[in-house]
Structure 1
Amino acid sequence: MMKLLYAFALSIAAIPAAFASPPATFTEAKVVAKQKIYQDQASSAMGELYCGCKWTWVGKSGGRVDPKSCGYETRKLQTRAERTEWEHIVPAWTFGHQRQCWQNGGREQCVDADPTFRAMEANLFNLYPSVGEVNGDRSNFNYGMVSGVSPQYGQCTTKVDFQQKTAEPRNEVKGLVARTTFYMFDRYKLNMSRQQQQVLMAWDKQYPVSAWEKQRDQRIAAIMGHHNPFVTGERKWTLGYAPQGAGAVASNVPVKTVPKPTLASAVEGGSVIGNRNSHVYHLASGCPGYAQVAQKNQVAFGTEAEALAAGYRKAGNCK
């Protein structure tokens, strides 16, 4: 096991600079998360997020739960109970509803038109393998304390209150989900209720950063290019904390007011053109592929910084 961990650590440290960039889509993020963050965690003592179950990898990013490893018992949905799914610790519904694109067309509209949403959806800090059934039961509920609910998943101590729409994760990850939530709300300038702040601040204090959480942060930072400052101790969430919004790469204006990007308008505005399929961007000067991106695949950015923040990388043939 020690040799495996050492080899995995070396693979993370040896990530080429060209690949040390955020994944551009949720689909890509799941594959990267498996290969670079959780590959050796399927059989670890920590297990998946909500119940600590071990699992075996299946396909590019899926997994099959070992219920005996954690005493898991299916509540209702056997198919989802048997597989791992990628949980957004801060649900896509939660951050999506604070974007105008969601009001104009839901998640699909946000994925298509909002680079900030795409960055949030694919953010590796916010992803963690979990038992599919618990992931589904948690839905888009806020985290909080749940009382008066009998064990729902055998020996798994995570509880879901469907009436109050609240989920209480097992103690082992309460600090991790609190600091991840702080990070997401801070990075993308989201609004958090006073009650949610108080619950998460209490968990942050009661459950300090663990050795695994530090290691997880280091692995993710090698790909994302930055750490979670609430894990490293650079920032501390206090009641009324003002999020900085470092990851909000695009103005949150109604999608209907944003003209469909075309090559002509991009050239006139001197914008950067991205290819939504390859997630490669091209400059008007020095990039041969600038005029070759099909109109249906074009994504216009005002600057290279915007393109990079949205998870795009510069075309390799640019001079």
Structure 2
Amino acid sequence: MLTRAMTAALLLALSLSSYADTPSSFRQAKVWAKEYVYLDRNTSDYGTLYCGCQWRWTGESGGRIDLEGCGYEIRAQENRAKRIEWEHIMPAHSLGHQRQCWQEGGRRNCVSNDAVFNVMYVDLFNLTPVVGEFNADRSNYRFTQFPASAPYQHGACPSRVDFSQRAAEPRPEARGLVARTYMYMHDRYNLPMSRAQQQIMMAWDRQYPVTDWERVRHDRIAAVMGHENPFVTGAKTWSLGHTNSGEGLRHAGSSLSAKDSHSIDLPGPIHGNRNSKVYHLPTGCPSYNAMADRNRVEFSSEAEAIAAGYRKAGNCR
């Protein structure tokens, strides 16, 4: 059941629907997440996603964790354990590591130079406040489910990490939301998901249906960003071997500025290789004419190629 504060916040978010947009930066994404999504959640029983801790808001988007109240025990990083951090449920590494910008300079380079990465990076559906130390410990590890005997590392926090396996397990209350977020991100941005990870997410989606809070969170984010997560609303379901829509890439490509898309007069179309999903410019790319005709796809701009899921060839100057 919605509290009065939750209802008021939802109405506020809905009033912004005519301004629906993607945040322009990670800093803005955190501020919007605080002001329009989590503003009244810091003292709720649900708490932070993985550990269920409450917090006190500080600054424009920060917070101080009530460690004693949730029984969290500091493992190694005291400063980060005491604050909330905004985690990408699907890690930034997973969003960027297949893109050319990540190969050439990691997250910082992608944030500075890749407009498509930035659309994924600031997607509010993929952001949540968590205990900072757990965010660090979870890192970019895959999600899985551990045997009951597996140890807990953070006191009463009911989520676990296995550093040797590079794997993490969210608490039961978080698993459905995690699964439907993964499905959304992979589908919307045409990202590959391993068979094993698909099976885990499908199982969690079935076992942990959408909760009242997940629905409220979804509706608040949808009102701000102007689109929904179809795996929360039920408009889509995931089955093994799911075909991604790539809808977010098309949106990102259509909204790139002339500067971002390198929209200049070129002496010919851009050539994409349908097998490697790599594109070549008519100038500065030695392999522009090297691919077989049967593998060639032509694009009128880099934005169009990027929106179709292609990345620039590594040997382009």
Same fold (TM > 0.5): yes
Distance 2:244 2:302 in 1: 24
Q: How big is the shift at 1:71? A: 1.3
The aligned counterpart of 2:120 is 120
Query: Structure 2 counterpart of 1:12, which letter?
Result: A
Q: How many residues align?
A: 264
List runs of 5+ in structure 1 lacking aligned partners. 252-259, 270-299, 307-319
Distance 2:259 2:160 in 1: 46
Distance 2:11 2:248 in 1: 29
| CA shift in 2, pair 1:216/1:150, >3 Å | same
The aligned counterpart of 1:39 is 39
Using structure 1 for the length normalisation, give the TM-score. 0.78
Q: How big is the shift at 1:266? A: 4.8
**8 Å CA contact retained: 2:115, 2:260:** no
**8 Å CA contact retained: 2:17, 2:226:** no
Distance 1:112 1:2 in 2: 41
Query: Structure 1 counterpart of 2:142, which letter?
Result: N
The aligned counterpart of 2:273 is none
The aligned counterpart of 2:205 is 204
**8 Å CA contact retained: 1:146, 1:160:** no
The aligned counterpart of 1:111 is 111
| Matched ranges for 1:271-282 at <5 A | none
| CA shift in 2, pair 1:155/1:262, >3 Å | closer
Distance 1:37 1:180 in 2: 15
- 3-state SS of paired residue (1:108): helix
Aligned residues: CA RMSD: 2.3
| Matched ranges for 1:229-268 at <5 A | 229-249=230-250, 261=259, 266=263
**8 Å CA contact retained: 2:17, 2:224:** no
| CA shift in 2, pair 1:301/1:123, >3 Å | same
| CA shift in 2, pair 1:62/1:267, >3 Å | same
List runs of 5+ in structure 2 lacking aligned partners. 267-300, 308-317
| CA shift in 2, pair 1:16/1:222, >3 Å | closer
Distance 2:260 2:102 in 1: 23
Deviations 1:195-242 (A, max 9, x none): 111111111110001111111110000011111000000111111101
Distance 1:176 1:10 in 2: 22
- The 4+ residue runs of structure 1 with deviation greater than 6 A are none
Q: How big is the shift at 1:10? A: 2.3
The aligned counterpart of 2:177 is 176
Query: Structure 1 counterpart of 2:219, which letter?
Result: Q
Distance 2:119 2:40 in 1: 25
Using structure 2 for the length normalisation, give the TM-score. 0.78
| CA shift in 2, pair 1:174/1:16, >3 Å | closer
| CA shift in 2, pair 1:262/1:78, >3 Å | closer
Q: How big is the shift at 1:101? A: 1.5
Distance 1:89 1:2 in 2: 26
Deviations 1:23-55 (A, max 9, x none): 021111001000000000000111111111000
The sequence identity of aligned pairs, in percent, is 50
Distance 2:17 2:166 in 1: 43
Deviations 1:67-119 (A, max 9, x none): 12211111111111100000100000011112122112211221122111000
- 3-state SS of paired residue (2:60): coil
- 3-state SS of paired residue (2:129): strand
**8 Å CA contact retained: 2:74, 2:154:** yes
Query: Structure 2 counterpart of 1:195, which letter?
Result: A
Is 1:224 the counterpart of 2:209? The answer is no
Q: How big is the shift at 1:146? A: 2.2
